[in-house]
Amino acid sequence: MFSRLGKFVTAHPWRVIGTWIVAAAVIVTFAPGLPTSTNESDFLPRHYESIQAQNVRTESFPAAFSPSVVAVFHRSDWKKLSKTDSASVERIASALRGQKLPQVERVAVGAPSPNGLVQTVSVQMPQMTMGNQLVLFDAVKAFRTSLRADSAGSGLVEGTTGTVAQGYDQHQASGNANSIVAIGTVVVILLLLLVIFRSPLVAVMPIVLVGLVAVVANGLIALCVKAIGLKTDSSISTMLIVVLFGIGTDYILFLLFRYRERLRLGEDRREAMVSAVTRVGKVISSAAGVVIVAFMAMTLSSLSFLRSMGPSLAIAVATTLAAGVTLVPAVVSLIGPRIFWPSKTWRYEPKAARASKIGLVMARRPALFAGFSGLVLVALALGTLRFHPTFDLMSGSTPKTAESRIALTALQRGLPPGATDPTDVFVSSDAGRPLGTKALTAYGARLRSVDGVGAVSKPQLSADHRVADYAVTLDSAPESDRALAVVQGPLRTVAHTTAPAGTTALVGGITSVYVDIEAAMNRDYSVVFPVAAVLIMLILGILLRSLVAPFYLMLSVSLGFAATLGATTLIFQDAAGNSGLIFMLPLIMYMFVVALGTDYNILIMARLREEAKEGRDPRSALATAIRHTAPTIAAAGVILAGSFAVLMLAGNSLLAEMGFAIAFGIAIAAFAMATFFTPALTGLIGHTAWWPGHGDQPDSAIAAPERAERAAGPITEGSEA
């Protein structure tokens, strides 16, 4: 199939290129924008308690004051607010009301904090949804401008926080991150390709071609997400940049390295491209298939963010694969060997290359290489024992300099941590009768007795008196471990078991949302991980026609995942002194590290089988495969790891942790697993690695002259490329 495809592409390169350009133009014209959400509760299924509680709030308290923006005031010297200062806050609030600012429905002045350090003005806006998100962000921007103008000369320091203000800052940070990551990714790829191939054409080609592919992929993703009705996080567009450029460049490298090899064997430029597509097409298709399957396994997640991320990234990889076997060969076949200009090293087989030496030594002592690389991975994996998830999403997605974070820190100096976002306990009458005052009073007292609860407000009754809302202030920050433990354990237990007779109690609020997200993630770990592993092993079994190889290949990438999580924990949690890592990191990291790590294993295993089918024994096949494939894996690994490492420049801890973890995992996959651990194990196991098939038996279809030519080594020697 790939031979026919290669012949068609090289025979009609302009037709292939034109098709891609037309497709990009059509998709850009008709595709919608990628919808996003910054509301964590949007990502949970409806059956979780926090979502049920949110529905009760919406239905029974439609006019409840739920501030979208909180303006925080304090003195610059942090002394107690005077009566004059409080009067200034009242004046500023009155001025804001009089301006009739867009989307501002209500402005309410709060009392000074108990310690007198801060005072707030709460602002109600429409509830943020997918449709009005950008409108509210514009409203926050306008509100901040007016607030600064009205506060001038008051002697007070002002700042805004709250749901919409935080969402706006996350949106701004995401936009900046996209620009930084896009520029950084392009620069990294250009520099690394220049160093590897010493050719400006090779360096520029992935940027141009992947840029075209990105247009097509993004349009298809937007159409798919809109059709399915899923919601995404703002970070997904940043991830798409590095996935498209990183994986796209990898597939281009796989093709170029094999194209250069065929040219060195004396084939003309079109014949060499057909041979390259024939040999590499199956490899990158299988590799892409593994990545796509792993990403699609994320559709089994409980969280809509991950369910939408899976198909989105799968579409990106599928589009990149299509370009890798059509668009890229078409362009290279037009340019021919001039693609490597001005370097002339493409004509010569490297002399005494490091990869050749490594292959020869590994073939003699595979147990040493397998044992040492395995011990390194196990040592790093021990760090996973200290992994702890954190739900502090605001600090993970916005920089410390964001106004909403600064204002929130100031607010917490004057009020208990839990007061920034109280937990709600809703009590609903089962029979539809009004709730009794006496029972509600006694219930409130029981809630106050819970360890970890700082205060409980008087119950607010719905218009029909059938639902009561208790605002519960925790004595710890809403996203803290203690707050989650209080809500998950004693608060929910007491709320459920001591509710007045004939009523049902639900615990809501952001801390309750975090508790449910944690439960959903634990469920996902037990479902998504095994399903992805089984599907990947099935693909490996079909590709390699073996029942043995998939098991130790999956073992190696799983060990690489554990080593990556351990290293990330040691660096970002222990060394940096953070309370934990972003809760979703292991699942996202698993998808990338396991899927992309398997890519490199597929590349080396396919070459090992190819060399064996040409008549080499397992040890000789190992040496030859390392000699030819290790440089490709090293180059691809460096570029892909460098692409993801650019995420560390985005300015927030979430992307920094993701960037390091995925980059480190890819480096482990390329330089520890695919270059040493996996091939060394295969060399040790020998023919049994291909049981019960005969994947390593000499292929009679391969011409004897070519086998002799390959066995004899390079036809020409020159300087190392």
Whole-number pLDDT of residue 720: 35
As a whole number of angstroms, the distance between CA 327 and CA 13 comes to 8
Per-residue 3-state assignment (H helix, E strand, C coil) for 103-119: CCCEEEECCCCCCCCCE
What does the mean pLDDT of the chain come to?
82
- Confidence tier at 713 by pLDDT (50, 70, 90): very low
Helices (H), 366-463: 366-381, 393-397, 403-412, 437-448
- Asked if residues 541 and 554 have their Cβ atoms less than 8 Å apart, the reply is no
Residue 498: pLDDT band (50, 70, 90) is very high
Residue 358 has pLDDT above 50, yes or no: yes
Q: What is the pLDDT of residues 290-328, one digit of tens each?
A: 888 888 888 888 877 777 777 888 888 888 889 888 998
What residues contact residue 4 under an 8 Å CB cut-off, 6+ apart? none
pLDDT band at 615 (very low <50, low <70, confident <90, very high): confident
Query: What pLDDT does residue 710 have?
Result: 46
Cβ-based neighbour number of residue 88 at 10 Å: 20
Name the pTM for this structure: 0.72
The pLDDT confidence band at residue 711, using thresholds 50, 70 and 90, is very low
Is omega for the bond preceding 342 within 30 degrees of 0, making it cis?
Answer: yes
Task: Tokens for 419, please give them.
Answer: 């007061």
Q: Which of 372-386, 532-546, 579-593 has the lowest mean pLDDT?
A: 579-593
Output the CA angle 246-251-256, nearest 5 degrees. 120
Region of poorest pLDDT, from 160-174, 331-345, 391-405, 553-567? 391-405
Residue 89, phi then psi, degrees to nearest 5: -65, -45
State the pLDDT confidence band at 372, using cuts at 50, 70 and 90.
Answer: very high
Strand 467-474 with 460-461, pairing:
antiparallel
- Examine the pLDDT at 138 and tell me if it is beyond 80: yes
pLDDT digit string, tens, across residues 106-119: 899 988 988 999 99
SS3 sequence of 608-632 = HHHHHHCCCCHHHHHHHHHHHHHHH
Cα–Cα distance for residue pair 507/521, rounded to 1 Å: 19
Residue 104 confidence (pLDDT) above 80: yes
pLDDT value at position 706? 46
CA 478 – CA 161 distance, rounded (Å) = 15
Better pLDDT: 62 or 676: 676
Q: Residue 353 has what pLDDT?
A: 64
Supply the pLDDT for residue 701.
Answer: 44
d(CA 701, CA 686): 23
What average pLDDT score do residues 58-72 get?
Answer: 82
Percent of the chain with pLDDT over 90: 21
Q: Which pLDDT band holds residue 546 (cuts at 50, 70, 90)?
A: confident
- Say if strands 717-718 and 349-350 run parallel, antiparallel, or are unpaired: parallel
Can you give the C-alpha Rg of the chain in angstroms? 30
Spatial separation of the C-alpha atoms in residues 481 and 389, rounded to whole Å: 9
Q: pLDDT category, 504, cuts 50, 70, 90?
A: very high
User: Tens digit of pLDDT for each residue in 411-434?
Assistant: 888 887 777 678 999 999 988 788
Average pLDDT, integer, range 365-387: 91
Residue 96 pLDDT > 60, yes or no? yes
**What pLDDT band is residue 709 in, cutting at 50, 70 and 90?**
very low
pLDDT of residue 717: 31
DSSP assignment string, 75-136: ETT-PPPPHHHHHHHHHHHHHHHHTT-TT--EEEEPPPPTTSS-EEEEEE-PPP-TTTHHHH
pLDDT on residue 304 = 74
Q: What is the pLDDT of residue 708?
A: 45
Whole-number Å distance between alpha carbons of 366 and 360: 10
Are 472 and 387 a contacting pair, CB within 8 Å? no
pLDDT (mean) for 446-458: 91
Distance of CA 117 to the CA centre of its chain: 40
Alpha helices in 580-617 (DSSP H): 585-613
Indicate whether 712 pLDDT > 50: no
pLDDT of residue 490: 94
Residues 6+ positions from 238 with CB-CB distance below 8 Å: 174, 177, 178, 181, 647, 650, 655
Greatest mean pLDDT range, 23-37, 213-227, 313-327: 313-327
Domains in the chain, CATH or no CATH each: 2-30+169-395+516-710 (1.20.1640.10), 68-161 (3.30.70.1440), 418-510 (3.30.70.100)
pLDDT band at residue 568 under the 50/70/90 scheme? very high
Q: What share of the chain is helix, strand, coil (3-state, %, to 5)?
A: 70, 10, 25
* Segment 466-492, tens digit of pLDDT: 999 999 988 887 878 889 999 999 999
The answer to whether the beta carbons of residues 343 and 657 sit under 8 Å apart is no
